[in-house]
Amino acid sequence: MRTSATGRCDRPTVFCGRPRSTAKNCGFTLIEILVALVIVGVLAGGVALAMPDPAAAERSAALRDWHRQADLAARRALAGARPWAWEIGQAPGNLTAARLLVDENGQWRPAAGADGHWRPLPAGLRLSTLDIEGQTGMTGGRIVFAAIPPLFAVDLDDGGKRWRIAGRPSGAIAMERLP
């Protein structure tokens, strides 16, 4: 004898002479099926909300990459005998981007490897303020790291969250979230 959520039921057979009405007692009711679907939908929605936002992860990675570029320029300038620069400007495709430059015999050249390539900001992340040695309101510029560390602040807006990458008088490069 089989059991359903609605109770016991006999296998409906027409051949045994049982009436067809017993077939109504077997299986799930429409309400039971709808309740099960609602539970599955709620669980699926909870899992979808717990998943990380890929666009937010991309913006976070770009923030870390820009901070790493500025820090790398500062460290290489202190370790070497030549200046390095962190350039912020318009990359091909009219995207705000950053890259590292090295001074080679008085000429600025892109750094070797991936650091010399433009690193564009992803969608949703934009440059809001650029301050280099007290000059603000620029849409791009070159921050030069040499024997004397530069003072700068690069403010980025992440759709309501604001971040700052700043050069300190000690030569440290800090990234902080602004209120």
Residue 165 near residue 156, CB atoms below 8 Å: yes
Residue 110 near residue 97, CB atoms below 8 Å: no
Separation of alpha carbons 26 and 89, rounded Å? 71
- DSSP label at residue 17: T
Domain residue spans of the chain: 2-50, 54-178
Q: What does pTM read for this prediction?
A: 0.69
The token pair that represents 144 in the structure block: 């030069």
54-178 folds as minor pseudopilin epsh fold (3.55.40)
Q: What is the pLDDT of residues 23-32, one digit of tens each?
A: 555 678 899 9
Q: What is the pLDDT of residues 84-115, one digit of tens each?
A: 999 999 888 878 999 999 998 889 999 988 88
DSSP reduced 3-state for 97: strand
